[in-house]
Amino acid sequence: MTTLLRGRLLSFKRAPQSLDDTDSYTYENDGGLLIENGIIAAIGSYAAIKGQAPDDVTEVDHRPHLILPGFIDMHVHYPQMQVIASYSANLLEWLNTYTFPEECRFVESAHAERIATHFYDELIRHGTTTAVAYCSVHKTSADAFFSEAMRRNMRMVGGKVMMDRNAPQGLLDTPEMGYDETRQVISDWHGKGRNHVAITPRFAITSTPAQMEATAALAREFPDLHIQTHLSENHDEIKFTGELYPDAIDYTDTYARYGLLGPKSLFGHAIHLSEREADAMSEAGAVAVHCPTSNLFLGSGLFPLKALARREKPVRIGVATDIGGGSSYSMLRTMDEAYKIQQLLGERLNPLESYYYMTLGNAEALSLADKIGTLDTGTEADLIVLNAAATPAMALKMEVVKSLTEELFLLQTMGDDRAIVETYVAGKPMKSILQ
């Protein structure tokens, strides 16, 4: 099956250096994108692509809207869809009061399946075509997560959480159970459909040294897998971690000493890193995943994104919603808050950088840029169609918008799921078929 999309095409080639870095992206004002069997077969001007399309091609005209690669969310907890909007003073209180009790419910597969269905509906509604997710400690939650991903043919990364202390009994595994069940999840799901399994120790506070050893063994046995965990989010969390791992130099070292600091390692938050920790992250090629709505909502701190990116030893960066510590499923809302955090730090985050991070930047941070994150030929046709005049207030502002970067900034500042006209997953329109 061959489809030809017509619209304004925008795709990044590399990280933009400034707002006028037009070499960092490709833009076709009247563009054509040819999709064959879920893969981007050709991209260019509409006239050129139309010329090479088969006679029986299905054409969809999305003018005057923008067509971009689908957004990527680098850190999200699908079992926290009913934790979002919980009134709490800080991270540890929020975890103990709301989050841990809620995650206990995922022992029931019917509950996990119901929430997984809602989760994918929300991703599609908000234009997110790939997410890196935490399941709960229960294998049932990972089964529900990956089977629904397969049903929708989405490229997803996820992991059964490993945690064996400092949480309610219903949320604890053991070093052996965490190891065995993670191995089972890998053999059941990794590489099936578009699924990737991530090794997922929740964070140092909820894993004993014995469980960290088991995690280290998994990392050695499956060196290609992503590893995801939390790092340096909150001052009380950092202090408690230091007490639990007195031999570690610092929080980052608690993971490094178990072989968990490498180029496939994704560290949620990483707000309060020392220079030594940032150096260690940089040397290992590990990724700091910025979760702006969560960091503001939980009062965790201001992530120094620009400062980390311009270091002599730069730290790789991803961006994410962190539902349910985060307060929006929308990557547009997420980058609006990221922008404001940099404002408070006296830094500028320009709109080209924001859209780079949501697409190619996150794909690079996942080492998946050969498959997702761009409109390059040969990559998977996960795409979104964006309308910068989606609401009356946006349409009014659009009357005075003069450039592509102004339009992108308007979408980021005022946009949400209403600005996502369509979400294509492997070439198939998925948003318009939602209930």
Residues within the interface to ligand GUN (CB under 6 A): 77, 91, 95, 99, 202-203, 230, 233, 294, 322, 325
Which residues face 317 on adjacent strands?
A: 288
> At CA 351, angle to CA 349 and CA 356, rounded to 5?
95
As measured in angstroms, the least distance from the Cβ of 79 to ligand GUN is: 9
Say if residue 392 is preceded by a cis peptide, omega within 30 of 0: no
31 interface partner picked from Zn ion, ligand GUN, none, CB below 5 to 8 A per type? none
Residue 202 touches which of Zn ion, ligand GUN, none (CB < 5 to 8 A by kind)? ligand GUN
CA distance 423 to 420: 7
Q: Which two tokens stand for residue 271?
A: 């707000």
361 binds Zn ion (CB under 5 A): no
> Residue 264: CA atoms inside 13 Å, Cβ hemisphere, count?
17
Specify the residue, 79 or 427, whose C-beta has the smaller distance to Zn ion.
79
Residue 233 binds which one of Zn ion, ligand GUN, none, with CB within 5 to 8 A depending on kind? ligand GUN
> Per CB under 5 A, does 268 bind Zn ion?
yes
Q: Among positive and negative, which fits the CA dihedral 221, 225, 226, 229?
A: negative
Shortest Å distance, C-beta 95 to ligand GUN: 6
* Piece of 8-16, 97-105, 204-212, 322-330 that binds Zn ion (CB under 5 A): 322-330
Q: What is the DSSP string of 159-217?
A: E-EE--SSS-GGG---HHHHHHHHHHHHHHHTTSTTEEEEEEE--GGGS-HHHHHHHHH
151's CB contacts (< 8 A; 6+ apart) are none
Which of ligand GUN, Zn ion, none does residue 127 bind to, with CB < 5 to 8 Å depending on kind? none
Cα–chain-centroid distance for residue 239?
27
Tokens 């007195």 belong to 246
What is the Cα–Cα distance from 332 to 363, expressed in whole angstroms?
Answer: 17
Binding-site size, Zn ion (CB under 5 A): 2
Please identify, using beta-carbon distances, which residue of 179 and 267 lies nearer to ligand GUN.
Answer: 267
CB of 75 to ligand GUN, least distance (A): 9
Q: Which is nearer to ligand GUN, 93 or 181 (CB)?
A: 93
Closest distance to ligand GUN from the beta carbon of 319 (Å): 14
Rule CB under 5 A: say whether 70 interacts with Zn ion: no
Q: Which residues pair with 68 in a beta bridge?
A: 384
Q: Among Zn ion, ligand GUN, none, what does residue 294 contact (CB within 5–8 Å per kind)?
A: ligand GUN
Q: Which stretch binds Zn ion (CB under 5 A): 141-149, 193-201, 318-326, 390-398?
A: 318-326
| Min separation Cβ 171 and ligand GUN, Å | 11
**Residue closer to Zn ion (CB basis): 156 or 360:** 156
Which of 295, 354 has the CB closer to Zn ion?
A: 295
Instruction: Answer for the pair 38, 95: CB distance below 8 angstroms, yes or no.
Output: no
Per DSSP, the three-state class of 401 is coil
Least Cβ distance, residue 230 to Zn ion (angstroms): 6
Residue 69: CB minimum distance to Zn ion, A:
24
Q: Reduce the DSSP state of residue 100 to 3 states and report it.
A: helix
326 lies in the binding site for Zn ion (CB under 5 A): no
Between 182 and 234, name the residue whose CB sits nearer to ligand GUN: 234
Within 8 A by CB and 6+ apart from 354, the residues are: 335, 338, 339, 408, 412
Question: Nearer Cβ to Zn ion, position 104 or 150?
Answer: 104
- Closest approach, Cβ 83 to Zn ion, in A, equals 11
> Least distance (Å) from ligand GUN to the CB of residue 229?
8
Measured from the CB atom, the residue of 116 and 384 that comes closer to Zn ion is 116
Strand partners, 227: 199, 265
The DSSP bridge pattern shows strands 420-425 and 428-429 to be: antiparallel
CB of 295 to Zn ion, least distance (A): 11
Q: For strands 25-36 and 2-12, give the pairing.
A: antiparallel
* Minimum CB distance to ligand GUN smaller for 35 or for 95: 95
Binder of residue 28, out of Zn ion, ligand GUN, none (CB less than 5 to 8 A by kind):
none
Comparison of 322 and 382: residue with beta carbon closer to ligand GUN: 322
The span from the CA of 186 to the CA of 196, in Å, is: 8
Q: Can you give the binding site for Zn ion, defined by CB under 5 A?
A: 268, 322
